[in-house]
Amino acid sequence: MADFSNYLSPGRRGHLVGIGGVSMSSLAEVLKGMGILVAGSDMNESRNVQNLRDKGIPVAIGHRAENVTEDVEFLVRTAAVHDENPEIIRARELGIPVFERTQAWGAISRDYSNALCISGTHGKTTTTSMCTHILMAADRDPTVMIGGTLPLLNAGHRVGHGNTIVMEACEYYDSFLAFYPTVAVILNVEADHLDYFKNLERVKQSFRAFAEKVPEDGTVVANLDDPNTMDALKDLGRRVMTFGMSPRADVYARNVKFIGDNTSFDIMYRGRKFTDVLLHVPGMHNVKNALAATAAAICLGIRPNAVKYGLAGFNGAGRRFEFKGKYNGADVYDDYAHHPSELRALLDTVETLNYKRSVLVFQPHTYSRTRSLFEDFVAQLKRPDVLFLAEIYAAREKNIYGISSADLAARVENARFFPGFPELEEALRQTAQPGDIILTVGAGDVYRIGEDLVKSEE
């Protein structure tokens, strides 16, 4: 089998199928920064596609065999692109090796003496972003791959010249098993992506296999407060540094104070104060994310001041409780939460912010997740004062389950289901009041609703 590392040299020519995705577009720019000649294709025009073109990377719209020319030396595909894709078929006819996106990132990570990979069912993007801020404050000049946009970078990636790479590591389809972490962070382990994993035990097996990728002189950073994480790592045979809210953890928080949107606390390391932090994002879940980032930083030998100032400079990642603007006196926020635990953390945070009403616009993500975690979704969707439900965002799936957001609405008193965005947006305009917080929530395209509201106010 071909090794992607053999193609990581200037002048090689590659084609990326699904190049407009967050991780794929970042990969394209990183490869270009290494002097590789990159082109690609995507099914739709998008901001990412235009950004790539602006940077000199050709992108064709539509997947067609003729996009793969005979001078292409390798092809990388996103997980949503299958063997029957015409570009994959053409590549194999020409004898061009086909790599998965995670194989490419994994090969890139092997070139760094420090490969920090952040995994977990929830919190990966935020924690990877926090780690990036810390590494930048420490002048480590890192290479970065994040599954979202970080304002510090004005992108989801960065090509650095230091010896450290920080990467978001997703478990879906066991993708992160292609990575080579020297420090592996496991934030939490929960039942998710059950269309692939089938059950929680299989999820735990995957995270254990990821932890076992760490070399004997590396470190696994683990959430002591999460029983599933600790069960998955039992008798691992690797150095494990724990974080959590309990003083039993290696890294823990003390004197936590919530001050509006800000949170102050002391970070303790093995019983002694490491540093104090003023975090400019709300919620206890972000305190825990900051503890995980700090533990990872300690593994990399980063000093307390870089942690303090790096975290102080973090104001959130794109689509993670992101303030979009105002409409009719209401504050409009957007969040990527698409799992019941993420919804719980989001709503817990909102309840501390003293708004008159919480108005939740929720778009479930994938039919399989909605079906598998239906009762858990219902429990959280009962919490906001006003609930509007958009139809399920299909993503990669077909609705073989016969499920709809209307089924969720039927279980939640006063919930309203809207099959299309125009009707939902009009109802939201009529509902919004001064003192409200409006939350557009989900991993699909629900963010467009909040953006439309804010634009109409300008």
The yes-or-no answer to whether 4-101 and 112-312 have a common fold is no
Q: Which CATH number fits domain 4-101: 3.40.50.1360, 3.30.160.100, 2.40.420.20, 3.40.50.720?
A: 3.40.50.720
Candidates 87, 168, 190, 425; catalytic one: 168
DSSP per residue over 97-143, as a string? -EEEHHHHHHHHHTT-SEEEEEE-SS-HHHHHHHHHHHHHHTT---E
Q: Calculate the CA dihedral of residues 416, 418, 423, 428 and round it to 10 degrees.
A: 40
β 183-186/219-223 pair status: parallel
Determine the Cα–Cα distance for residues 5 and 24; give it in Å rounded to an integer.
17
Candidates 102, 125, 143, 370; catalytic one: 125
Instruction: Please state which CATH class domain 322-457 belongs to.
Output: alpha beta
β 262-269/272-279 pair status: antiparallel
pLDDT at 382: 98
pTM of the model: 0.88
Active site residue 216: no
> Which CATH architecture fits 112-312?
3-Layer(aba) Sandwich (3.40)
Determine the Cα–Cα distance for residues 265 and 164; give it in Å rounded to an integer.
28
Candidates 102, 121, 124, 213; catalytic one: 124
Digit-coded pLDDT (tens) for 21-80: 888 998 998 899 889 999 999 998 988 899 999 999 999 999 999 999 999 999 999 988
Q: What's phi and psi for 253, nearest 5 deg?
A: -105, 145
Active site residue 275: no
Walking along the chain (458 residues) 10 residues at a time, the average pLDDT comes out as 88 97 88 94 91 96 97 93 96 97 93 96 96 98 91 88 95 92 98 90 98 97 98 97 98 95 96 97 96 98 98 91 95 96 95 95 97 97 98 92 97 96 97 98 95 90
DSSP per residue over 427-451, as a string? HHHHH--TTEEEEEESSSSTHHHHH
Beta-bridged to residue 238, according to DSSP, are: none
Sheet-wide strand order for 330-335: 322-327, 330-335, 436-441, 357-362, 386-390, 416-418
Boundaries of every domain in the chain: 4-101, 112-312, 322-457
Active site residue 382: no
pLDDT at 1: 57
